[in-house]
Structure 1
Amino acid sequence: MVTALDDAEIGTVLVVTAHPDDVDFGAAGTIAGFTDKGIRVVYCVVTDGDAGGFDRELDNGGMAALRRTEQTEAAKVVGVEDLRFLGYKDGTVEPTLPLRRDIARVIRQVRPDRVITSHPERNYLRMGPSHPDHRAVGGATLDAVYPDARNPYAFPELLAEEGLAAWSAREVWLTGGQANNHYVDVTATLDRKFQALRAHVSQTSHMDDALEGFVKGWLAMNAKAAGLPEGAYAEAFQVVPTA
């Protein structure tokens, strides 16, 4: 049975997502718990989310800038101040070699023990997690973790031109899949999760009180699956060892 490393063994966590707000829907409560323990957390956001939102007056660059700002504010709520935006176009991400290189670069820069990213497989129980960008980023991140970032002969220009030596992350946590094997009790950090989600005004303001009900519903189901007591809330992951 796969078990996650103890948080006491983790110095740095890298979160790689497709869009601003992905981490806050999937893992903000968990991230708040990490930073409370003194774990360094870095966000790598592949797109600027320029195809999201409901204000078309902000197209042609305005939405992208707004969503970077929103993600930066949301990150502060859960104790994250180091964000890397890769600038890919929202809605068109593919798991290409250039994307793998860009993510491998960040892995070598950050040198994380744990990487969190989206699941590369389609979720047939809930469509939301299966956005094509999510799956593409999840697949590219897994390839960047193994073999790219750890192989000194993969993308040799990262070492030769940027001085970035190979690095091996110890485990990957996947969000949005159907084979969850690890649950994090986020009851104590739930308020900060909602503060982070509300920071994404362009994405969540139209939901009013429905946002909390929607999110609490699936967090409660996660808690039940984890065997937590009534009234608890949990975020779910599939832990993948890299060794």
Structure 2
Amino acid sequence: MSDQESGPTARQEAGPLRPMPEDWRRALVAVAHPDDLEYGGSAAVAAWTDAGREVVYVLATRGEAGIATLAPDVCAPLREAEQRASARVVGVSQVEFLDHRDGVVEYGTTLRRDIAAAIRRHRPELVVTLNHRDTWGGVAWNTPDHVAVGRATLDAAADAGNRWIFPELVEQGLEPWDGVRWVAVAGSPEPTHAVDATPGMERAVRSLLEHRTYIEALTDEDPEVYCRAFLTGHARAASERFGGVPAVTFELFPR
């Protein structure tokens, strides 16, 4: 249920984008809805899995409120299946759903705990989430779910390493994990780093295309034309700050 469909709107900062760190083995992606990461991040995931890195997806919701013509109980299993298929295209086999309600995800300790628990389960060095800011840049307003999950993920990266926060997780066998070295925010209007999108672009297009139920409800345009134009357009826009190389951008928060 992305609000990035309007095309490149991010406010670009002065200066070049730096390459993302590469000295890590495991990443966890935490986003709000099916398709959130596919709107721009999958080319990076494809490059990471090609290099032998492990990536796990954790979604707060099943996207059940994302299609006006489908009731939530019908929509949820469709979007879950599409997300699992989409992940497989870029080499991701583990996809988890936290079962928060789509459209009304609330930032707070429950969400932080659920994401911290996932971080403790999978013990990543890199955590990736989606834009936690109020806008995509300018006046393109973000959704409450994206903001809540993005902010909770940034906080949960620290929560996961503190045994005195959510002590019930230790009782469940989830020992603290203080090994998160970075949180990378995809779709940020204030990017600092980037990944070459070229090697993974074709798989990124196919990965987004797996969300066909959502895309066909979103636009009358041919789905492949729509997906390719959206992804290549953003990658080309980012190339202006990445040495002319089409790129996936991230705002990187070291820890």
- TM-score, with normalisation over the residues of structure 2? 0.86
Kept after mapping to 2: 8 A contact 1:12/1:113: yes
Which of these residues, 217, 237, 250, is aligned with residue 221 of structure 1? 237
Instruction: Tell me how far apart the structure 1 counterparts of residues 119 and 91 of structure 2 sit (CA, whole Å).
Output: 20
Instruction: Tell me how far apart the structure 2 counterparts of residues 123 and 227 of structure 1 sit (CA, whole Å).
Output: 26
Q: Secondary structure at the match of 1:155?
A: coil
Report the counterpart of residue 44 of structure 2 in structure 1.
Answer: 30
Tell me which protein shows more helix as a share of its residues: 1
Aligned length: 234
Instruction: Tell me how far apart the structure 2 counterparts of residues 189 and 115 of structure 1 sit (CA, whole Å).
Output: 19
Instruction: Tell me how far apart the structure 2 counterparts of residues 186 and 238 of structure 1 sit (CA, whole Å).
Output: 16
Which of these residues, 47, 61, 73, is aligned with residue 47 of structure 1? 61
Runs of 5+ unmatched residues, structure 1? none
Which of these residues, 140, 149, 154, is aligned with residue 137 of structure 1? 149
The one-letter code matched in structure 2 to 1:215 is: L
1:171 counterpart = 2:187? no
Instruction: Tell me how far apart the structure 2 counterparts of residues 120 and 134 of structure 1 sit (CA, whole Å).
Output: 6
1:1-243 to 2 correspondence within 5 Å? 6-7=21-22, 9-54=23-68, 56=69, 58-123=70-135, 125=137, 130-146=142-158, 148-160=159-171, 162-168=172-178, 169-205=180-216, 206=219, 207-208=221-222, 209-228=225-244, 232-242=245-255
Kept after mapping to 2: 8 A contact 1:185/1:234: yes
The one-letter code matched in structure 2 to 1:26 is: G
Kept after mapping to 2: 8 A contact 1:16/1:116: yes
> How far has the Cα of 1:26 moved from its partner?
2.8
Runs of 5+ unmatched residues, structure 2? 1-14
The one-letter code matched in structure 2 to 1:216 is: T
> How far has the Cα of 1:214 moved from its partner?
2.6
Q: Encode CA deviations 1:140-164: one digit per residue, 9 max, x unaligned.
A: 1111112x1110101001002x111
Kept after mapping to 2: 8 A contact 1:16/1:115: yes
Q: 1:219 to 1:86 in 2, by over 3 A?
A: same
The one-letter code matched in structure 2 to 1:233 is: P
Kept after mapping to 1: 8 A contact 2:136/2:188: no
Kept after mapping to 2: 8 A contact 1:117/1:138: yes
The one-letter code matched in structure 1 to 2:147 is: R
Q: Which segments of structure 1 move beyond 3 Å, counting only runs of 4 or more?
A: 1-6, 126-129
> How far has the Cα of 1:108 moved from its partner?
0.2
Q: 1:111 to 1:124 in 2, by over 3 A?
A: closer
Instruction: Tell me how far apart the structure 2 counterparts of residues 37 and 128 of structure 1 sit (CA, whole Å).
Output: 35
The one-letter code matched in structure 2 to 1:149 is: A
Aligned residues: CA RMSD: 1.9
Q: Encode CA deviations 1:35-94: one digit per residue, 9 max, x unaligned.
A: 00110000000011011135x2x3141101100000000000000000110111111011
The one-letter code matched in structure 2 to 1:157 is: E
Kept after mapping to 2: 8 A contact 1:122/1:177: no
Instruction: Tell me how far apart the structure 2 counterparts of residues 5 and 124 of structure 1 sit (CA, whole Å).
Output: 21
The one-letter code matched in structure 2 to 1:61 is: D
- TM-score, with normalisation over the residues of structure 1? 0.90
The one-letter code matched in structure 2 to 1:35 is: T
Q: Which moved more, 1:69-78 or 1:83-92?
A: 83-92
Q: Secondary structure at the match of 2:145?
A: helix
